[in-house]
Structures are given as structure tokens and as C-alpha cells.
Amino acid sequence: MSTSRFPTDTLPPTGNLINGTWVDSADRFVVDDKFTGEAIATLSSATREQVSEAVRVARNAVDAGPLPPHDRAVVLRRAADLLEAWRPRFVDAMTTEAGFTLVDANNEIDRAKVTLTLCANEATQLTGDVVPFAASPGAHKRIGFTQRFPVGVVCAITPFNSPLNTVLHKVGPAFAAGNSVVLKPSAFTPLTSALLGQVLLEAGMPAPFLSILQGEGETVGSWLLEEEDVAFYTFTGSTRVGRIIQRAAGLRRTQMELGSIASTFVAADADLDRAIPKIANAGLRKAGQVCTSVQRLYVDSRIADEVAQRLVEYAGTLVAGDPRDPATRVGPLITEQAAIRAETWIGEAVAAGARVLCGGARRRSVIDPVVMTHVPEEGRVWCQEAFAPLIALRPFDDFDAALASANSTPFGLAAGIFTQDIDRALKAAATLRFGTVQINETSSARSDVMPFGGVKDSGFGKEGPHYAMREMTEERLVVFNP
């Protein structure tokens, strides 16, 4: 095990968290430094028996009842404070196991603190509605209202590309609503979740209300789908795996944030001084490994050359390499195999006539930021989710045709448009079949307070504490008939 890239004196727990105790197993897996490829830790993969025990403990916790809402809010606010106190440890974990740059790691922590605070606020404001019975003849004397109750055991299965904030977008609302949580983080980034488990326990979360099960989706994830006491699955990942989870869930409830090919439009009247930095950062941050990254960039042909030139110039300022270097803005992909895949897709597109305006060189798992044009319609960098630091620019003369092109994919997570024409903006909002349409922002802009989710093969249900908590609760109608 290398000690040169990770401070072993602050290594998070390497077992599985069940009922407040970190337990080991004989099944082990290795976590690598995503830049150097060195092994940094060996973790215990949860056994089938440990999965069942974690769900049993979580079910018993729900049956015994959660903390009162105010107390749950106190726990969540303490956790936000502890995130700040533990910032260096979280930065170390994410730069090492996720390959995040220092900027991306610190931004992840900043957002996670906001998410926890939002969850704390919502915990004390989770209410129902008054039913206007006077609308029904003869029922005007009735008094009715709805209440919300925890759905039960929430199973959260989370991705590598946001190992702290996306985890908290699932764990936070679930706990705030009174549920217990069984978390299975990505096997690529388990250490950040282990640190978070320590923080939540120290903040006062009752031990039975949080379990963390480490391991691969094919084993631990599949076993979790067999547990009938899980009432709700919340998942961020591929559409392929989302379909598997949905089939196993049956009539149980789910929230799915799945695959994407995000599109952003630049009209001829766009403010390019504002748009170019936003587009470049949205397409290239986290090495392009964001489900809403700007992959398809549609640009009015009258300004396409200028936009391409300015994007190339901006991309040239984004240093790619060691994520621990303060100058680095584009870190490694999650594996060298992922980088090789992206390199292969770029090569295929070039062979079919595409032009690489900048970037594309690969050093192990790092790829220099890429801006491409003339990408063929059938090219994988155009019609499949790239998940790499890559922006494919396509000029358009016909705005309606460009909108139709964006709608032509199976996915519909997020889109953006830069324009000063309100009619054009409203047409885009009404036409683009995406869960979010941003005006004068990229597809990748997100505030943690907003509802976030997709349509079509991008899934269904909403993240955002206010909205997620309503999905993770059961609504009950109470009627008084004097």
C-alpha cells in the first residue's frame, strides 16, 4: 500500500457500518489513486449475511420510530458543521479516490453543506395540505387534511462522480423525513462515504438509522434488490442498471437519475463573454464526468467559428494532470480504461471526418480537454454519453432542426440555451423534452435547492431536499365529518 499519496493516519474505516459498528469480512477489494494508479486502501466487501443484517437493523429502527423533526434537523446542522471541520480529510479522500481537483473537491464540500442545511430546514417543515371539501355538494362541513409519514427503509445506491453531495442528496432527505438508510456507495469511491458515516454518527444520527455497505453492484447491489424490507430505492447511475433495479423493485417506489446526453445551445445574440467560460467549465469540470456535462453544443452558424476559437482558447488555460496540483483544473478519469474508451471514441470520430480543434492527448487516465467539430451523426461521441472532457460543437442554421436533434436521443436530463431573445428562450423551454431547461445557463448549472431529475431514459423522480422528501414519504388523508 502506498503512503505517498494519501495520509494513512486519517484513513477512513475500511469495513461496513452496521448498527454503529464497522465490521469486516473476508471478501476484500482495492481502491486506487485515480491519478497514479497506486493502491491506497483495501476495503471489506459486505457479505450476503451483512446485507440482510443491515436491512433488518434499518427496518427495526423505522418500526421503533425516528427522532422528532427538530432533533433530526439538529443532527443535520451538526453534520454540516463537521463537514467544514473535516474539510482537509474529505479533500484528501476525493482527490485521491475520485481524482477530483482541489477546486472540484472543495466545491463538492461547499455544496454538501448547503444540502445538509436544506435538509435540516425541510425536516421541520414537512407538512400536508388542507382539502377544500366545500367543492363537493353536501360535504361542506367536512374537514380534511393530509399528513406525511416515513416510507420506511431507503436504499441509496450512489455514483463515483459525486461521492459526497449526491450521497447527501439521498441520505439527507431520507433521514430528514424520518426514514432509515442503507447506503451502497460506488466501489470506486468508498472512502468518502466512510468518512461521511463517521461524520453523521458524530453529529448524533442514531446508529440504526444508517448502514453503509461497501462492494460491487453485481454482488452487494444485487443482494439489496432481494431484500423485501427495502421500501424505496434511490439510484444514480446508468440506464441499464436503472432498468434492473426497477424490475426488482416491482410495486415499491424508486427515484432514478440515469443516463444522459446533455445539450446546450448558443444563439447568435448570446453574450459570449458570459457563455464561453460557463460552457467550457460545464463541459470539462470533473473531467467531463457529470451527467449534465455539455457534450452536444449547438451554435448558430453565424458565430460558430468565433465560439469554437474562444472555446479552444479557454480550454487551453485548463491544466490537465495531477489533481493535487493547485493549478490543475481537469483531473483524471475514474479509470485508465475509461480514458482509453474516450480516446477510442475520439479516434473513431476523427476517422469518420471529425476535427479535433484542441486536446485529446492521453496520459494514463488523464485526457487533455477536447473541443471537436464535424462529428458524424452516428459517432459515439455524439450519440452516446461520453463521460469525458469533451465538447462536440455543431453549427446550425435552422433552430427548429437543432431542437429536434437534441430531442432525438433516448435521454432527457438537462439542456441549456444562451440567448437574449425571450421568444426563442420560451420556445426552447416548451420544445426541449428534458427535465430541466436552463436559460442563459448551460445544461450543467445546478443549485441544490432546485428539483432535479430527468424524463425518458434519464429516469424519473426528483432530487432536491424539498422534493425528494415528498417522494420518500407516504401521504395520508385524515377526514373529520361532524
Give the burial string for 124-141 (b: 16+ CB within 10 Å, else e).
Answer: eebebeebebeeeeeeee
- With a CB cutoff of 8 Å and minimum separation 6, the contacts of 372 are 346, 349, 354, 355, 356, 357, 381, 390, 391, 392, 393
Which position has the grid cell 463521460?
387
Residue 155: active-site member: no
Other CB atoms closer than 10 Å to residue 281's CB: what's the count? Answer: 17
Nearest to 110 by CA among 98, 94, 130: 94
Q: Which three cell numbers stand for residue 356?
A: 479535433
Residue 291: active-site member: yes
* Residue 12 · residue 199 · CB < 8 Å: no
Q: 3 burial class (0-12, 13-18, 19+ CB within 10 angstroms)?
A: exposed
Alpha-carbon distance values, 173 to 7, 73, 178, 339 (Å): 32, 11, 9, 34
Beta-sheet strand order (sheet of 230-236): 21-23, 16-18, 210-212, 180-184, 153-157, 230-236, 253-257, 459-460
Q: Among the options 119, 155, 291, 358, which is catalytic?
A: 291
Give the burial string for 451-461 (b: 16+ CB within 10 Å, else e).
Answer: ebbbebbbbbb
Q: List 463's β-bridge partners, or say none.
A: 452
In angstroms, rounded to a whole number, what is the distance separating the alpha carbons of residues 224 and 43? 19
Provide the CB-side half-sphere exposure for 415 (13 A, CA): 29
Q: Among the options 97, 122, 227, 257, which is catalytic?
A: 257
Q: Known catalytic residues?
A: 257, 291
